[in-house]
Amino acid sequence: MTEENNGWFNRVEQGINTETKDKKEIKEGLWYKCPACKEIVPKEDHEANLNVCVCGYHERVNAKRYFEILFDDNKYIELNADMTSADPLGFVDTKKYTDRLVATQKKSGLKDAITTVVGKIGTYDIVIAAMNFEFIGGSMGAVVGEKIARAIDYSIENKAPFMIISKSGGARMMEAAFSLMQMAKTSAKLTQLSDAKVPYISLLLDPTTGGVTASFAMLGDVNIAEPGALIGFAGPRVIRETIGRDLPEGFQRSEFVKEHGFLDYIVERKNLKNTLAQQLRMFAN
């Protein structure tokens, strides 16, 4: 018997073996791999850091997660919770629009691409309309426009500052002109908010594009973004192919947009609640 085999028997006699049945199972979903720096960290640690990597990459999170981060004691009341989209055009692409809506509602647990709520940040009342990218790419349809309009009415009635958290691919093609009308509708409602002297804060996340950027996302009294967020009307690939040349490094990212005067400031997620509380305190004075 070779020395190698003797070593194997010694391991068995000492209870040291590597049979599959003795290996520890690693449960799925316990680790997070950053798409930017490729660092792998425990998912629990990543969530404790508000889903931000040590390299500064801000992972996309849903509206509910922002509510947890922002509202005092995670307490808030949802407004107009049961509104759902209709199918005025009988739209069909690879599937019926009505079927797509049902499937997305079932998968996401959401009614549509925006959630509107009222709560307190640093003891100050605020109404927030937060877009849900996981609902058909956060696309803006009639429900998005109507819920924003009603949330603005609530803000005006209660003299509570209003904020939209934008994260969207733009207008919802399945609703065609009905979707595009929401650009004018939301902009008009924001004019009413301004006339009532109620502040409006716009928070732009990754990505904020298309008709959302061309309407309510850029109309804030204060425009804020997270680091590295893609912000623009047409995407960089479309622009590159249209003009036939390479784009500057960081083109359409929040740092580039701020440098060119379209943002007031950029704030990391860990500082977002305190920053907004200070902003609300300033408005209150």
Residue 2 lies in a domain: no
Amino acid at 208: T
Which CATH number fits the domain that encloses residue 176?
3.90.226.10
Angstrom distance (rounded) from CA 257 to CA 227: 11
According to the model, what pLDDT value does residue 8 have?
44
Q: Which residue, 35, 59, 83, sits at the end of a domain?
A: 59
Taking alpha carbons only, the member of 108, 124, 31, 122 closest to residue 63 is 108
Taking alpha carbons only, the member of 69, 31, 74, 22 closest to residue 50 is 69
Work out the average pLDDT over 170-193: 96
Q: Domain check: are 225 and 145 in the same one?
A: yes
Average pLDDT in the chain: 91
Work out the average pLDDT over 29-40: 92
Helix (H) / strand (E) element for 127: namely strand 124-131
Q: Domain check: are 46 and 65 in the same one?
A: no
Q: Domain check: are 256 and 134 in the same one?
A: yes
For 68, 223, 224, the CA distances from 71, given in Å and listed in that order, are 6, 20, 18
According to the model, what pLDDT value does residue 178 have?
95
Residue 180 lies in a domain: yes
According to the model, what pLDDT value does residue 177 have?
95
Cβ-based burial of 154 (10 A; exposed 0-12, middle 13-18, buried ≥19): middle
Catalogue the long-range contacts made by 229-233 (C-beta closer than 8 Å, 24 or more residues apart).
229/58, 229/204, 229/205, 229/253, 229/254, 230/206, 231/204, 231/207, 231/257, 231/262, 231/263, 232/208, 232/257, 233/209
According to the model, what pLDDT value does residue 12 have?
47
Q: Global pTM?
A: 0.86
According to the model, what pLDDT value does residue 257 have?
95
Cβ pair 118, 79 in contact under 8 A? yes
Give residue 52's domain range: 24-59
pLDDT digits (tens, 9 = 90+) for 238-260: 888 899 888 888 899 999 999 99
Work out the average pLDDT over 182-209: 98
Residue 38 lies in a domain: yes
According to the model, what pLDDT value does residue 4 have?
47
Q: Domain check: are 40 and 156 in the same one?
A: no
Q: How confident is the model at residue 7 (pLDDT cuts 50, 70, 90)?
A: low
Residue 145 lies in a domain: yes
According to the model, what pLDDT value does residue 285 have?
82
Q: Domain check: are 80 and 216 in the same one?
A: yes
According to the model, what pLDDT value does residue 9 have?
47
What are the E-state strand segments in 72-122?
76-79, 114-121
pLDDT digits (tens, 9 = 90+) for 46-103: 999 999 999 999 999 999 999 999 999 999 999 999 999 999 999 999 999 999 999 9
**Structural domain total, the chain:** 2
Q: How confident is the model at residue 236 (pLDDT cuts 50, 70, 90)?
A: confident
pLDDT digits (tens, 9 = 90+) for 105-128: 999 999 999 999 999 999 999 999
Q: Does 10 have pLDDT greater than 70?
A: no
Q: Domain check: are 249 and 208 in the same one?
A: yes
Q: How confident is the model at residue 233 (pLDDT cuts 50, 70, 90)?
A: very high
Q: Domain check: are 37 and 110 in the same one?
A: no
According to the model, what pLDDT value does residue 14 have?
54
Q: Domain check: are 235 and 210 in the same one?
A: yes
